[in-house]
Each structure stands twice: as structure tokens, then as C-alpha cells.
């Protein structure tokens, strides 16, 4: 059996897509999750990776916190930079309420968090945590965007650190096959599937992102009323990837049929994942997708 890792990209509040992917993996990729050796992430991706590894039963609680946090930030006069509003303190409160007391033990050598050193401007992947507080500090460092999140970088082990997305927004671990997850459409395993209008991809700190003809980065956030929302797309993308890991050559559409135009290029890993996802028409209906929104 091959070594498998999961890596969640940096993406700010678009991390709600990651939560949708995590929920879908828990429900329909249980065998896959059992075989995941390591988790990695940057910024919001590291937060979701930490929850999926140490407290998977709290994914929905994390989802509720994210929505409330986003709404609270948006209500501020100047958003996160409003004087008197402590963005990082609010983020810390969420971590402290969700991460278990032994989170650092569960994460030790299995969770790889991307952070950026302010002095050297180099990236570091931290995977060793001496305490729960140590883990929380690294997660805060990976999520610290200067000015937006505050003016003082996070201090960790005598040095100052900021968002890991600046130097490595999608960690690829050196050992095994890393399954990549991102809300940005591109050359990734689990991501929104947009049509290639220009066939142009831009590498942004380790993420190959598809660029639209109108020069905007391809991001699927929400659709019009009555259509699938982003977390629904997370489910479709996860099921598509699990199909690829099983050895299937095409992805199911919303009716449960396979669509040759949505073929994934992921190399099959093992027939071990046969049955990891129940790909019935009901499961893949728009109604099922919408239930994840």
C-alpha cells in the first residue's frame, strides 16, 4: 500500500471549501482517510488539516465558527483592520474551543504546517509540537497576514513568523503521494473544475492556478440561486478524486453518469479504495450537493 498525504492550500476565508472537502472525505472516503500518513497545509489550509487530523468529529463545529467569524469580521467598520478588533485573538478562541487537549500529540510528526520567517523570508514546515500551545502558535503564525491580521508577527521559538502562504501555499511532502486540495481551479486533485478558456496556468507559491480569459483567477465561491454552492462542489471533487484513486478513468456528473469531458489525470494508486465512495445517483444529485452548503 502506498504512502498517502493530504495537503490543504492557503486560501483565507475560502477555507470553507476545505471544510466541505473534509466533510465529504469523512463520509465517503473513510478507507482513504485511514491510509493517510500525514496532513499538511498553509494558512486556512493548515487549520482545516489540524481539525481533520485531531478532531474530525468537530468539522461541523469548525464550519459554524468560520461562518460566524467571517460575518463578525465583515460587520466591522474596516473589516479585520478596524481599530480595537483583534482578529488573531478571535481566531485563537476558535482553535482553543475546537482542538482537543492532546492535539499536539496527535499532530506530532503527522501534521506539517507551512510558515514564513520574517527575517530570512524562507519557508519552514513545522511538524514537531511540544505542547498544545506550541501547536496553536504555529497555526496562528501560518495564518498571520501582516496588516490584515495585525502589525506584530507571531513569535515562535525566538523568531517571528507570518503566513506560510507567502512562501509555500500548498506543501508537497517528500515521501509518498500528496493529494492536493484547493478552492482555486487548477492542476490539483480536489478543486473546482473550470473550463480552460486560455489554457494558462500561473504558479503562485506552489499552486498551479487556472486563469480565466477575463484575466481573473478562477475561483468558484457560490452559484446563483437554485444551483450548487461551493461545499457541494467540494463533495463532487472529492468523489471524483476517490474515483481516480480507485482506478476509474472518468468522473461522475450530477446525475451519477460518467462524463468523459471531466476526466481526471490522477494516477490510480491502489484497488484498495474500491468501495470507498458510494457513487449512486442519489448521492451525486444536486440535492445531495446542496446539503453540504
Span between the terminal Cα atoms of the chain, in Å: 34
**Does the CA dihedral 35-265-8-58 come out positive or negative?**
negative
255 is catalytic: no
- DSSP string for residues in 95-125: HHHHS-TTHHHHHTTTEEEEEEETTT--EEE
- Per the residue annotation, which of 163, 169, 185, 189 is the catalytic one? 163
Nearest Cα neighbor of 67 from 192, 291, 231 is 231
Identify whether 43 is a catalytic site residue: yes
Q: Which of 7, 23, 43, 244 is catalytic?
A: 43
**Nearest-angstrom CA–CA distance, 27 and 279:** 12
Rounded distance, CA 259 to CA 38, Å?
Answer: 31
Please state, in angstroms and rounded to a whole number, the distance separating the CA atoms of residues 45 and 20. 12
Judge contact between 20 and 44, C-beta under 8 A. no
CA distances from 199 to 67, 184, 194, 212, 220 (A): 34, 15, 11, 9, 17
As annotated, the active-site residues are 43, 163
Amino acid at each position: 500500500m502506498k504512502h498517502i498525504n493530504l495537503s490543504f492550500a492557503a486560501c483565507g476565508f475560502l477555507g470553507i471549501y476545505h471544510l466541505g472537502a473534509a466533510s465529504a472525505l469523512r463520509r465517503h472516503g473513510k478507507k482513504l482517510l485511514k491510509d493517510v500518513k500525514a496532513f499538511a497545509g498553509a494558512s486556512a489550509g493548515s487549520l482545516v488539516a489540524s481539525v481533520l487530523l485531531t478532531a474530525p468529529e468537530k468539522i461541523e463545529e469548525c464550519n459554524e465558527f468560520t461562518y460566524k467569524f467571517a460575518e463578525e469580521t465583515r460587520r466591522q467598520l474596516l473589516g479585520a483592520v478596524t481599530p480595537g478588533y483583534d482578529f488573531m485573538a478571535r481566531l485563537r478562541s476558535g482553535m482553543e474551543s475546537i482542538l482537543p487537549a492532546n492535539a499536539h500529540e496527535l499532530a506530532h510528526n503527522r501534521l506539517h504546517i507551512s510558515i514564513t520567517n520574517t527575517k530570512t523570508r524562507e519557508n519552514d514546515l513545522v511538524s514537531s509540537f511540544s505542547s498544545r500551545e506550541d501547536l496553536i502558535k504555529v497555526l496562528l503564525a501560518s495564518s498571520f497576514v501582516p496588516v490584515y491580521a495585525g502589525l506584530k508577527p507571531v513569535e515562535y521559538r525566538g523568531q517571528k513568523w507570518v503566513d506560510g502562504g507567502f512562501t509555500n501555499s500548498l506543501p508537497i511532502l517528500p515521501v509518498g503521494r500528496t493529494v492536493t486540495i484547493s478552492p482555486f481551479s487548477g492542476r490539483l486533485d480536489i478543486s473546482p473544475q473550470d473550463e480552460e478558456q486560455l489554457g494558462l496556468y500561473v504558479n503562485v507559491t506552489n499552486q498551479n492556478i487556472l486563469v480565466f480569459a477575463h484575466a481573473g483567477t478562477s475561483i468558484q465561491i457560490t452559484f446563483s440561486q437554485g444551483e450548487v454552492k461551493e461545499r457541494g462542489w467540494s463533495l463532487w471533487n472529492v468523489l471524483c478524486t476517490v474515483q481516480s484513486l480507485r482506478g476509474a478513468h472518468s468522473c461522475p456528473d450530477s446525475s451519477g453518469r460518467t462524463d468523459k469531458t471531466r476526466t481526471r489525470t490522477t494516477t490510480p494508486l491502489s484497488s484498495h479504495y474500491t468501495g470507498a465512495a458510494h457513487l449512486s445517483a442519489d448521492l451525486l444529485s444536486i440535492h445531495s450537493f446542496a446539503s453540504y452548503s
